[in-house]
Structure 1
Amino acid sequence: MIKLKEALLKKEQEDEMVKKRVLEIIEKIKKEGDHALRQYNILFDGCKRENYLIREEEIQKAYKSISETTLDDLRFAAKNIEEFSKRQKEMLKDMKEQELLPGVFLGHRAIPVDACAGYVPGGRYPLPSSALMSIIPAKVAGVKRIVACSPAIKGTNCIHPATLVAMDLAGANEIYAMGGSQAIAALAYGTESIKAVDMIVGPGNQYVTEAKRQVSGEVGIDFLAGPSEVVVIADSTANPTVIAADILAQSEHDPQARGILLCTDERIGKETIKEVENFLKELSTAEIAKVAWENNGEVILFDTIESAINFCNEIAPEHLEIQVKNFDEVVPKLTNYGSLFVGEGAAEVFGDYVAGTNHILPTMKAARYTGGVWVGTFMKIVTNQRVTEEGLKLIVPVASRLGELEGLYAHKLAADVRLKSSIL
């Protein structure tokens, strides 16, 4: 393994000051509700709204303020996301009672959560695509109450119109102009004007992520998301220009974003570095992308594609692109990633916007144990059992002995009593 381009900065340790500040905000929201929410919204966003619920006339105004092309694009993306979510939901079916043992019937139901919230960032850029990604799968899942929120544009009382339209198109039942850790606290614990939800999904900055960490357990969350990241595995057949563009597409998100190339051809690696530098000369977001590339970007040369695959599985990237000749041999060996993009035509940006797969994905190696947001995120698989007299004769003696083994004698009693009484 040879590093043709190495990251300059190591991953920063968790900021204790952020933890402390977020805890203060959460506690204040819990105690003071809407009053504290208004204080923080004024402090952080300059939003002076008295009522954070977006009214219907505001939504209609947003529709009128965006172009027909933008509206058509949002509808196109929404349709694809919805269709893919519907096809995913077909995999989540109720399992009717099945007789596992004589007289022992088991099954499960797939039940949507009652209420969820989609947090849509609005800091550095408006992100209407994130509204579609968080709300549409919940709608398809059958969630009855879907809440959406996003911070107001700095110094105003309004959510970005494209984001607001996307929230409405996606099917949100309630939309609130609020952001930051104070919004997460309000959604988790409720205020006088906002009813708490059961689950919160969606990306955000370090304060939003820390707030989700602190309220997790009180409500469900998708996962803790960090800076965006992409890994590209490439052999000699890959296109350095395409790779460079895809790396920069991640790098422009945030100064902490990561773009990594794992290649088996030195020429591809060096040409990609050159192409990145060329693009940065003209890229309008170069101020951010250049910092991310210089500090966090890596190009690593491997002797074999197997070595690159093994290294990638250890990284467990959010986005993984493979630009290799024999991709059908490579794909089965890849086990840790948020979303996979196969071949030169499968740009990560398509996953961000229009292909139909979700772009709310695990970062910081979380892909080792979870996938991204999908229709199943909003559904619970809950089991059921029914036992006849025939089944009791089979399982009571075993359950009784195991209860006694563990010293839980009421467990033993609860099993034994079912054979000793005529309850059936």
Structure 2
Amino acid sequence: MKIIKEAQVRSEEDNRNLRETVAGIIGEVRGRGDAALREYNEKFDGCTRESLRVSREEIDAAYKELGEQELADLKAAHHNIGAFANAQRQTVKPLDNFSPEPGVFLGHRIIPVESCCCYVPGGNYPLYSTALMLATPAKAAGVKRITACAPVVRGTGHINARTLVAMDLAGVDEIYALGGAQAIAAFSYGTGSIKPVDIIVGPGNRFVTEAKRQCYGQVGIDFVAGPSEVLVIADGKASAKVVAADLLAQSEHDVNAKGILLTTDEAFGKSVIEAVEEELKILDTAKIARQSWDTFGEIGVVDSLDEAVQYANEYAPEHLELNVEDPDALIPKLVNYGSLFIGQNTAEVFGDYASGTNHTLPTLRAARYTGGVWVGTFLKTCTHQSMTPEASARIAPLVSRMAHGEGLSGHAAAADARK
């Protein structure tokens, strides 16, 4: 592969200070509960509110802040996300009375987790779309207690109004004005005002990510996420302007985001570089997008689309776009990606907001072993079995011999008792 725009290699950050800082925050929350949460709220977000839980009155007031079009847009996006999540739920089915041999009956139940926390970032932008993406599939899965949290708008005591409305539309039962590593600790271990949950989902900054890593085991998590990334595979017949727009849509997330183009046409690759430069002249978020693109943007020229497929499978990108004349020829060969966007008509940003698939996706090559958040994230497949007396007596000698082979005589005795 010929590189015509090279990205800097991500340096391995010394995370010792991060780990220690987050461990300290978790320890404070576990030890001092709500008092620690209020102190962190004031320290990091300038929030002095006494009650961490958002009231119904605050939610109703948030609706009044939205215009008719804003509310209609949220409802339309929620409809598509919910429709897809409910369709996915129908594909996850219980199994009963499977019999591998006479008298042995096996099966499984599909059981939703009892409770979850949807972490919705505030940070540079109010990511209200994330509220829809997290809570909607939880609702479709049948989670009984859906909680959500987000940091307040800095210097105020309130979560962004659109985020509050999105949480409410998606079916959140409890909303808390809280962010950062302290929020992850609170929903993992519980405090006086916050009951712990079974799983925490959602993206966040490196402190949130590290807190999820440290609290995993005490609580379930979706995955450990890193900076956003997109990989575009394009031939010479694609639109340079469209590809440039898609690359910059990822680059504007933050300065560590990564946009990659693989193309079979060197002239096209160079035209994309020119198109990126033109858009950066008018892009409101050019300061962040420019730094991200200059540092981590990459364009490579491949000898064939099969070479691009091989690279994509090794890289396992969060978002993968196929902007080629015959995408159907490549799809069966692609196995590692968070979400796939097929053809020039299918912008990655459509999936970010409103087409219906989820935008909470694995990064940093995690797509090799997991997909993104979906209705199944909130479901457990729990097995069961039963046997007739004849089947029990028949299988007992087999189990007894295997148990003795492992040196577990108590296991053997439990089997022999059924003879």
Q: If the length of structure 2 is used for normalisation, what is the TM-score?
A: 0.99
> How far does the alpha carbon of each residue in 1:350-388 deviate from its partner, in whole angstroms, 9 at most, with x for none?
000000000000000000000000000000000000011
Please say which of residues 167-176 and 95-104 is displaced more in the overlay.
95-104
CA distance in 1: counterparts of 2:376 and 2:298, whole angstroms: 34
1:389, distance to aligned residue in structure 2 (A): 1.6
1:235, distance to aligned residue in structure 2 (A): 1.1
1:331, distance to aligned residue in structure 2 (A): 0.4
CA distance in 2: counterparts of 1:14 and 1:47, whole angstroms: 31
CA distance in 1: counterparts of 2:93 and 2:275, whole angstroms: 48
Q: Could you tell me which runs of 5 or more consecutive residues in structure 1 were left unpaired when the two chains were aligned.
A: 420-424
Code of the residue aligned with 2:149 in structure 1: it is C
CA distance in 1: counterparts of 2:345 and 2:321, whole angstroms: 10
CA distance in 1: counterparts of 2:276 and 2:8, whole angstroms: 16
Please say which of residues 6-15 and 62-71 is displaced more in the overlay.
6-15
Q: Is 1:103 matched with 2:111? A: no
1:390, distance to aligned residue in structure 2 (A): 2.1
Code of the residue aligned with 1:159 in structure 2: it is I
CA distance in 2: counterparts of 1:286 and 1:8, whole angstroms: 19
CA distance in 2: counterparts of 1:229 and 1:391, whole angstroms: 54
1:393, distance to aligned residue in structure 2 (A): 3.3
1:81, distance to aligned residue in structure 2 (A): 0.3
Alignment RMSD: 0.8
Q: Which residue number in structure 1 is paired with residue 238 of structure 2? A: 238
Q: Which residue number in structure 2 is paired with residue 39 of structure 1? A: 39
CA distance in 1: counterparts of 2:299 and 2:379, whole angstroms: 40
Q: Following superposition of structure 1 onto structure 2, how do residues 168-317 of structure 1 map, counting pairs within 5 Å?
A: 168-317=168-317
Aligned residues with identical type, % of pairs:
56
**Equivalent residues of 2:38, 2:50 under 8 A apart:** yes
- 3-state SS, counterpart of residue 148 of structure 1: strand
Q: Following superposition of structure 1 onto structure 2, how do residues 114-133 of structure 1 map, counting pairs within 5 Å?
A: 114-133=114-133
CA distance in 1: counterparts of 2:79 and 2:12, whole angstroms: 39
CA distance in 2: counterparts of 1:132 and 1:349, whole angstroms: 15
- 3-state SS, counterpart of residue 101 of structure 1: coil
> How far does the alpha carbon of each residue in 1:50-91 deviate from its partner, in whole angstroms, 9 at most, with x for none?
111000110010000111111000000000000000000011
CA distance in 2: counterparts of 1:265 and 1:389, whole angstroms: 69
Q: Which residue number in structure 1 is paired with residue 50 of structure 2? A: 50
Code of the residue aligned with 2:321 in structure 1: it is E
- 3-state SS, counterpart of residue 118 of structure 1: strand
CA distance in 2: counterparts of 1:389 and 1:9, whole angstroms: 64
1:10, distance to aligned residue in structure 2 (A): 2.3
- 3-state SS, counterpart of residue 110 of structure 1: strand
Q: Is 1:352 matched with 2:352? A: yes
Q: Could you tell me which runs of 5 or more consecutive residues in structure 2 were left unpaired when the two chains were aligned.
A: none
- 3-state SS, counterpart of residue 325 of structure 2: coil
Deviating 4+ runs (over 4 angstroms): none
Q: Is 1:402 matched with 2:402? A: yes
**Equivalent residues of 2:119, 2:201 under 8 A apart:** yes
Q: Is 1:16 matched with 2:16? A: yes
1:394, distance to aligned residue in structure 2 (A): 3.0
Please say which of residues 387-396 and 43-52 is displaced more in the overlay.
387-396
- 3-state SS, counterpart of residue 91 of structure 2: coil
Q: Which residue number in structure 2 is paired with residue 367 of structure 1? A: 367
CA distance in 2: counterparts of 1:356 and 1:55, whole angstroms: 29
CA distance in 1: counterparts of 2:301 and 2:382, whole angstroms: 47
Q: Is 1:143 matched with 2:125? A: no
1:9, distance to aligned residue in structure 2 (A): 4.2
**Equivalent residues of 2:393, 2:418 under 8 A apart:** no
Code of the residue aligned with 2:46 in structure 1: it is G
- 3-state SS, counterpart of residue 64 of structure 1: helix
Q: If the length of structure 1 is used for normalisation, what is the TM-score?
A: 0.98
1:396, distance to aligned residue in structure 2 (A): 1.2
- 3-state SS, counterpart of residue 100 of structure 1: coil
Please say which of residues 198-207 and 8-17 is displaced more in the overlay.
8-17
Count of aligned pairs between the two proteins = 419
1:116, distance to aligned residue in structure 2 (A): 0.3
CA distance in 1: counterparts of 2:52 and 2:272, whole angstroms: 47
CA distance in 2: counterparts of 1:12 and 1:57, whole angstroms: 46
CA distance in 2: counterparts of 1:110 and 1:284, whole angstroms: 46
- 3-state SS, counterpart of residue 396 of structure 1: helix
Q: Which residue number in structure 2 is paired with residue 422 of structure 1? A: none
